[in-house]
Amino acid sequence: MTISKLLIHKDVVDVPMVKRIVSQLNIPFRVVDETQTLFERVAGAKDPIQKGKEVLLLTRNKGKFLKECPGTRSYTCCGYKILHIGTFCTMDCSYCILQSYFHPPICQFFVNHDDLFAELDQHLSLEERSRIGTGEFTDSLIWGKWSDLNTRLIKRFAHQSRSVLELKTKTVSIAPFASLDHHRKTILSWSLNAVAVSKAEERGTATMSARLRAAQTCESWGYPIAFHFDPVVIYDGCEDDYEDMIKQMFAYVSPKNIVWISIGTFRFMPQLKSIIQQRFSDSSIIYGEFIPGLDGKMRYFKPLRIGIYQHMVSVIRKIAPDVTVYFCMEDDDVWNQVMGYLPSDRGGLSNILDESAARHCGIKS
């Protein structure tokens, strides 16, 4: 996807970042004063989700930039904080929850960065351990084509010692990070999947080998690295495909430099099913053995989840017995059956990840 229409809210016309983005995009733009009309136009398109990916709205975040990860009741959350820099994504993955999260989805980039850094500085001044990521409501790196926000964030985190920044992506847009003095306080992380899943379900993303090469390059620049197998899709032969990807991952990046690896199986709110059927008619990912979870999301039958988790974790442990592995949104029963312990046995999942960040990134207690 490429941005074909640029809209600027009237309140931010004079913001320096807006002028920078206008010059970088070099496409006609329009100043708007009412975003609701825009949303209605997008919603009326034949494919409003695709239309939303082609429109960029530069606007102001009127709420908080730092938010707690929403998590899910009855499932163990990792407890990180979201730095809310924008919404939606120019890539197009069939399983993306953002398709049903925003109504309608549209690419928005918040440009009031003075407010962002003021709020971030206030949080960092508390000198408490925290893991902060920008990849919850968007991809962390897609904005680097037009904005220097990521480089500013990396520099800011480099000059403190109790928090880490995680930038999560499916791209290879790493060039701006080559010469930064990051002090290992920024973790660059990639979403990984079986090659078959990526080819079928992840339109417009970098290939698995390209992502791994990018991770290898960032490791050579001294950055700590992380990987996220989420969503894991269960199908005939998936065990072998995910095993191959895990082995490729370790062939590119040293286990000693991987801060954590998360694993989570495909799960979705019921309303996403019809969207996938309409927009990805060839996709079969919604036709697995799903049952409603405690959070209302459709999840694979628990024995199936446990089976693929056990296989993936055993492969990881054979190659890298000491690397930190965790599950995204799973219950104690899954943890116990796969890992042999509960997060609460080790001070909670947040503590487990904080300790791994301390070892790899040098953050202090």
- State both tokens at 350: 């947040």
194 inside domain: yes
Contact 76, 263 (CB under 8 A): no
47 inside domain: no
Q: Is the pLDDT of residue 277 over 70?
A: yes
pLDDT (average), residues 145-154: 95
Instruction: Show the domain range for 306.
Output: 64-103+114-361
Contacts of 196 (CB under 8 A, 6+ apart): 235, 241
Nearest to 120 by CA among 87, 86, 84: 84
Least-confidence region, from 21-35, 36-50, 315-329:
36-50
Mean pLDDT for the chain? 94
CA distance 146 to 186: 20
DSSP string, 209-271: HHHHHHHHHHHHTT--EEEEEEEE---TTHHHHHHHHHHHHHHHS-GGGEEEEEEEE-EE-TH
Contact 144, 150 (CB under 8 A): yes
Please give the order of strands across the beta sheet that includes 163-169.
Answer: 66-68, 81-83, 130-133, 163-169, 186-192, 225-232, 258-265, 325-327
Q: What is the pLDDT of residue 94?
A: 98
CATH of the domain at 210: 3.80.30.30
Contacts of 151 (CB under 8 A, 6+ apart): 176, 177, 180
- The model's confidence at residue 26, banded by pLDDT at 50, 70 and 90, is confident
272 inside domain: yes
119 inside domain: yes
Q: Is the pLDDT of residue 149 over 90?
A: yes
- pLDDT (tens digit, 9 = 90+) per residue, 309-329? 999 999 999 999 999 999 999
Q: Is the pLDDT of residue 118 over 90?
A: yes
- The model's confidence at residue 162, banded by pLDDT at 50, 70 and 90, is very high
80 inside domain: yes
By three-state DSSP, how is residue 191 classified? strand
- Domain count along the chain: 1
Contact 116, 61 (CB under 8 A): yes
98 inside domain: yes
State phi, psi for 87 to the nearest 5 degrees.
-135, 150
Contact 155, 120 (CB under 8 A): no
- State both tokens at 221: 């620049």
59 inside domain: no
- pLDDT (tens digit, 9 = 90+) per residue, 72-110? 767 888 889 999 999 999 999 999 999 988 766 789 999
- Residue that the structure tokens 């549209």 belong to: 106
Q: Say how far residue 146 (Cα) sits from the centre of its chain.
A: 19
36 inside domain: no
- Residue that the structure tokens 């997060």 belong to: 343
- The model's confidence at residue 176, banded by pLDDT at 50, 70 and 90, is very high
